[in-house]
Each structure stands twice: as structure tokens, then as C-alpha cells.
Amino acid sequence: MGIELNTNIFETNLINLSIVLSVVFLVIGDAFKTALSERKNGILSALNEANERYEQAQKELNAAVALLDEAKGKAQSIQKAAPGTALKEKETIQAQYALELDRVNQKFDNDSNLARARMAKTLYNHMVHSSISKARTYLVTHVNQVGQNATLSKVVDLIDSEKEVALV
């Protein structure tokens, strides 16, 4: 027994099968076409959104690259200007230092001169006071021996008043 091809349409139900298949394709085909169309539209909208996001990301990337290039340019200009700026700053600081050193030296000189003047005045006052005290002691001891005590008191008072004037 071999395999034979049955060409009888009624026996093989080819008509029924063709009707069923036609109905299936007509009824289900429209639904299938609609589902495929919706799927196609969904895929296309997803592709369009992805393309828009890609374009937006590309714009942001280009902007970031431009900012990076600008920052590199600024960094290079700062790097080129840094030695000159540092030199100017150094010169400014040195000039300020020289001015401050001159001011401090002048203040030191003024303070030294003032201290010398005070020291000289103190020494002068001490010398005058010591001289007057020695003179008074000498006069008191020698005049008392001679007996001119009243005159001596006037002279000592005169010397004391002159001492006060001299010390001021």
C-alpha cells in the first residue's frame, strides 16, 4: 500500500476547509491586521521617542563638549597668565614689604630719638638735682660755720625755686 493523492473534493472536505479558512482569514485576519498595525504603530512611536531622546542627548553632549572646550581654553589662559600674575603679585607684595619696612624703621628711629630725649632729660634732671643737693649741703655746712644762716636759707630757697623751674 502506498500513499496516494485523493483528488475527490467531497471526500477530502476541501470545500469545507476552504470555507472555514476563508472565514478565519476574513474575521481573524482583520483583527490580526489591526493588532499588527497597532504593534507597528507602537514600535514606530517607540522608535520616534528613542530618536528624539537620542537627538536631545546629542544636543546635551554637544553643549557639554562646548563647555568643556571653553573650560579648557580658560584653564589654558589662566595657566599662561599665572606666571605673569604671580610675578605681579610678588612685586606688589615686595613693594608693600618695602613700604612697611620703611615705616617700621622710621617708627623705630622716632621711638629711639624719643627714648634718647627722655633719657637725656632724666639724666639732666638727675645731674641738676644732684648738683643742687651737693651745693646746698656744702653751703649749709660752710655757712653754718660762718653764721649766716638767714642768708643761707634765702639762697637755698632761691636754688630750690630755680631747681623746680630748671626741671620743668
As a whole number of angstroms, the distance between CA 82 and CA 74 comes to 12
Q: What's residue 82's pLDDT?
A: 85
pTM for the structure as a whole:
0.40
pLDDT digits (tens, 9 = 90+) for 52-94: 999 999 999 999 999 999 999 999 998 888 888 888 999 999 9
Instruction: Count CB-CB contacts under 10 A for residue 157.
Output: 10
Q: Which stretches of the chain drop beneath a pLDDT of 50?
A: none
As a whole number of angstroms, the distance between CA 65 and CA 110 comes to 64
Q: What's residue 102's pLDDT?
A: 93
Q: What's residue 72's pLDDT?
A: 93
Buried b (16+ CB within 10 A) or exposed e, 85-119: eeeeeeeeeeeeeeeeeeeeeeeeeeeeeeeeeee
As a whole number of angstroms, the distance between CA 100 and CA 106 comes to 10
